[in-house]
Structures are given as structure tokens and as C-alpha cells.
Chain A
Amino acid sequence: MIEARELSKYYGRKKAVDAVSFTVRPGMVTGFLGPNGAGKSTTMRLIVGLDRATSGSVTVNGKPYTAHRAPLREVGVLLDAKAIHTGRSAVNHLLAVGATHGIGRKRVDEVIGLTGLDSVARKRVGGFSLGMGQRLGIAAALLGDPATLVLDEPVNGLDPEGVMWVRSLARQLASEGRTIFLSSHLMSEMALTADHIIVLGRGRVIADAPVADIVALSGGTLVRVRTPHPARLAELLASTELGTQVQVHASSSTIEPDVFQVSGLDAARIGELAASAGIALHELTPVAGSLEQAYMSLTQDEVEYHAGGTAPASEGAFR
């Protein structure tokens, strides 16, 4: 259980985390989403006391992380794969971290086996790939057999097999009653892994709800439309009686510029409108609302760093 209350962190005058309150509950996987610079990593560092909060508080299992007698048993943390001395072997790194809590060789060998590092355990970490560094970071997080896991971008740099492994590990640990809190940029990954999602934008919580509710937030069902006259159709749909609720999302594909998605209208109504205006439709398919879509519509006003200035271009509404 992680509880943040009015948690704030300023770097100079910049508000990295701005009066954030949330609860991460045991027995489920909680996803932590947000664009780059939204404050996810800072929040995670605040949880384990690596950064000092400017104001507010955050507790783990009822106490500040620093007040626990066996911190590694309370929280296992992966902040980034590079929090490891490059001159040391993986096994020595784990032995050194574990030794602080009297965790010995047996458990170190266990987590090495669990994370599939057996073949490189005696090699120096400096030569590790991003994926292997990530596995070593997860191994270190598991050392204390912690009741809570805080993983910042755990699938970053992992191959598909590694991604699946992290997913099943997170699910399994949550089913054992542990608190799992993980951040990711891969929204589709979150849909498969998380039960609950907290979305952060510019240092503030902009959504905190079960996955299903977040998807519903996006406006529910989408309809994929293919037409040779996308601009005319968009204009037409926007001028209907439901115009204010209708959103037309441009295609993210440059290969299929004539495809876009519409939310707020069902397929039958779109077909009728197009027919009455004489616009030919090549495709009209209802598709389930995706978490990706929900996330984009939630964060499109909160993105800190726009790509070029046209962002959030790919999925943005052009009304």
C-alpha cells in the first residue's frame, strides 16, 4: 500500500510534482502513465526517499520508507537500469545490496535464476545490454521478497519474451497480495498488465480509475471510416446535431491517409449522413475503444514536450 498526500516536489521554480494524492492498493497491478516529464519518475523517487518532498507526504505500508526497519522487505524498487556500478559483476552487485539486510548467497542465486541472468551473473555490468541491465535491476528489486514493488519503466529495453515475463511476474506477484506499481509508456502493455491506472500530466493526477473506466473515458466505441473525401466527411460530421460530442481522429498512418476514426456517433448514423451528402465510404467498422486512445485524449493538453509543435499530431482531433 502506497499513499501519497498532497505530495509536491519543486526543482527550483519548476513544479515536477504538484500536490499529488493517490493510493496504490495491494493485490493488484497499478499502472502509472503520463507523457515524458509528467513527474512519474520523480514521484517514484519520492516514494523511496531518494528525493526529498518539497511538501506533502508519501507512506509505504503506513510509514515513510525511511522509517522502516527492513526497507528492502517493504519495497523493491527499480528506478532505472543504470543505478548499478558498471565495474562490478551482477552477482557482486546483488550480494552487496543484499548484505545490508543480511540477505545472502541463496536468495541472490534465486533472483538471478528468476530473472534469467545465470549466464552473465559473473560478468561486469558495464558490458550489459539495456535489457540485461533491466533484468538485473528487477533482480535487485526482488531481493528482499518485498510486499510492494515500484518499477519505473520495467519493460524498457526488453525483448518481447522479456516483456511477457515482466507482465506475468507482475500479475503473479499481485495475485500473492502484493502491491505492484509500475510505470510504462506502452499503453497497450498497461491494458494487458494493469488493473488500475493513475495518469499523471504536468505533475498532477489527471485520472485515477480502473482500466475499464479509463477506456470508457475516451468516449467508448470508435468507428473506423475509410473514404476518399476525409476532409468533407469530417466537416459534415462536425456539423450534425451531435457535433459538439463528435470527434474525428486523423489516421496515424501515412500509408492510409484516407482512414480515420470517429467517436461519438455510431456506424449506422455515419453511413446515413455520408449517403445523404453523397460521400462514398470504402470502409465503416466499429472498433473497441483502446487504452491508447483514452490516454491520448486525456493527456493531449498535458504533454510537456511537443514533437516539433504539431503534436499531438498523430491522434489529435481536427475539428
Chain B
Amino acid sequence: MSTTTAQHSVSADGADRLPVLTFGGILRSEWIKLVSLRSTIWCYALIVVVGIGFGVLIALTSPAATAGGVPDAIQGSTAVQVATLALGFTALASVVLGTLVITGEYGTGMIRSTFAAVPTRLPALFGKVVVFGTTTFVVGLVTIFGTALVTAPILPGIGVTPNFTKPAYLLALVGGAGYLALVGVFALALGAIVRHSAGAIASALGVILVLPTVAIILSAITQAEWIQSAASFLPDAAGARMFASTAGEAASSGFLAPWQGFLVLLAWDAALLLVAAVLMKRRDA
């Protein structure tokens, strides 16, 4: 420490300005944390590779080719479907990563370093949400539009001419990326509440994979229609409407519109983040 002759003699970044805690700085910090871990790179790579690979596979093997062509009315929605079909799998990678973003810090003790630097805590939580949410959204966009681009020359082989000029189709592609990000943020919030990787991942997957199945079984047994309508408000079911390929076509009754699905998932995220924020403020780190 050659220059520390007085308390403030060293300006840490070499400029004259003294270091101060800012939300911009917190965002930078969270970005460095996110990209400096292998799990992040693996999860995002998985999303891109599985997303595009699955799209190509479907485009090459779709039975539509042998069924005498695809009706004009659903040409566009079929192309959307091909580009977003893998989201059922890639969402799981987003859920795992979203959870690890926060539980990884609790598990290793890193959270104490984080809270020592950001003692008011909540800016750190929101910084994580913003950085992880935005990054995942961009990775989702790259994957989905990449899939659309790669499958474009293949689709005519099965009688589909991709045409995304209709705003509803474009919105569905963007909505797919939004779903990927929001589902991940849902898991992040759950992780902030549960604080243990295994428990948080299990509960997130439970909500996303198991609850809808339980709802289907229950409604099949009881014939109760309300269970089915309630199930459409579950985070995953609502979120999946964001990239519904029937968007633009007559939205069949009983389903949420894409923007409604978006708002429902957003509300889930907000509610969980609120609980996480209250607990984070209150608990010892």
C-alpha cells in the first residue's frame, strides 16, 4: 500500500473521484459475478444449443411434410412453433441458473461479502434480477431468432413458408424470450426465499412441472372446470401463452391472451420478489 499515507489518499480507480456505492456499480458487480462462473456459461450454452438444435430437428422430421402440406392459415404459427418448441426444456436451464444466481451465494458464504458491500441489501437483490433477467432475455432472443433463421431454409421442405411479418408472430418470438427470462426470475425469487440450492431448485421445478400435472389429474377426476381455469393462471401455463403459436389467429376461449399471460407471470414474479425482499431485509445473513 504505497500511497496510503492518509485515509483518503488513494482513490481506488486512480481518478480523483472517491468510490461511492451506486446502483450502476451494483449492476456492474452482478454482471461480473454472473459471467465469471462456469455454471452460467454452461446454462446459457445449453439454452442456445438445445434451442436451435431442437428447432432444426423438428423442422427436418415434422410429419407435416407427409400430410399433404400445411394449411395457409397456420403456416405462420407453425414457423413460430418450430422456433419456440424447445422452450419447454430450455426454461429448465433458466430455472436452475436463476436459482443458483442467489443460492450459490448463500451456499458459499459469498452473500456476506455482497451484503457487506451493499448493506441495505435490496439493491443487490434487484441488481441480480435486472442483470440475470436482461441477460437471459437476450440469450432467449438470440436462441429463438437464431432458430427461426436456421430453420427458414429447411421449413419449405415440409411445406411451410416462414413469414414473420405479421406483428403477432414477431411478438410471439419476443414473448418466448420474455417467458424464458421471467421464469428464471421466478426461480431467482424463490431461491432468495429458500436460500438453499437443492430446495429452491426442487420447489421451482415443482411449481413449473408438477403443479400443472396435478391440476390436470385433479380436473380429470373431478370434472371441475374451475380447476382447469385456475391452472391456466399457474406461472408456467400463463407464461407459455406469451409465445402461443395461435397468437394472431382466433384466440380460443378459455385461454389467456399473450399479454394477459405476460401480466400473470409478471405478477407471480413481483409477488415472490416482494416476499423475498421482506425476508432479505429481516433475516440475518
Interface residues of A (CB under 8 A from B): 45, 48-52, 65-66, 68-73, 75, 77, 79-80, 82-89, 92-93, 95-104, 106-107, 110, 114, 140, 142-145, 147, 172-173, 176-178
Contacts and interface: CB of A to CB of B under 8 A. Distances in A.
Contacts of B32: 92, 95-96, 99
B12 A50 contact: no
B130 to A, nearest CB: 14
Contact of A84 (B108, B117, B119): B108
Contact of B108 (A82, A140, A144, A172): A82
Given A96-B29, A107-B12, A176 B5 contact: yes
A84 B38 CA distance: 15
B28 to A, nearest CB: 4
B21 interface: yes
Nearest to B118: A100
A256 to B, nearest CB: 43
Contact of A176 (B4, B112, B113, B116): B4
A109 to B, nearest CB: 11
Contact of B29 (A99, A107, A114): A99
10 contacts: A71-B117, A83-B112, A89-B36, A92-B36, A96-B36, A100-B22, A100-B28, A102-B19, A110-B10, A178-B7
Given A51-B285, A85-B104, A96-B33, A73 B116 contact: no
The main secondary structure of chain B at its interface with chain A is loop
B118 A144 contact: no
Contacts of B36: 88-89, 92, 96
Given A99-B32, A101-B20, A110-B10, 4 more contacts: A70-B19, A71-B119, A100-B29, A114-B1
Contacts of B149: none
B213 interface: no
Contact of A99 (B1, B7, B25): B25
Contacts of B153: none
Interface in B234-280: none
A144 B19 contact: yes
B179 to A, nearest CB: 28
Interface string B94-138: 000000000011001111111111111000000000000000000
Contacts of A65: 119
Contacts of A97: 29, 113-114, 117
Interface string B3-30: 0111111101110011111100110111
Contacts, number: 153
A177 B6 contact: yes
B104 A72 contact: no
A49 B121 CA distance: 10
A313 B77 CA distance: 81
A311 B269 CA distance: 55
Contacts of A48: 116, 119
Contacts of A176: 4-7
B21 A70 contact: yes
A202 B8 CA distance: 37
B14 A84 contact: no
Given A83-B112, A85-B104, A103 B19 contact: yes
A140 B25 CA distance: 16
Contacts of A99: 25-26, 28-29, 32
A84 B113 contact: yes
B239 to A, nearest CB: 29
A140 B285 contact: no
Nearest to B123: A100
B110 A145 contact: no
A176 B2 CA distance: 12
B225 interface: no
B39 interface: yes
B37 interface: yes
Nearest to A81: B109
B268 to A, nearest CB: 28
Contacts of B110: 83-85
Contacts of B8: 73, 145
B166 interface: no
Contacts of A110: 1, 10
B34 to A, nearest CB: 9
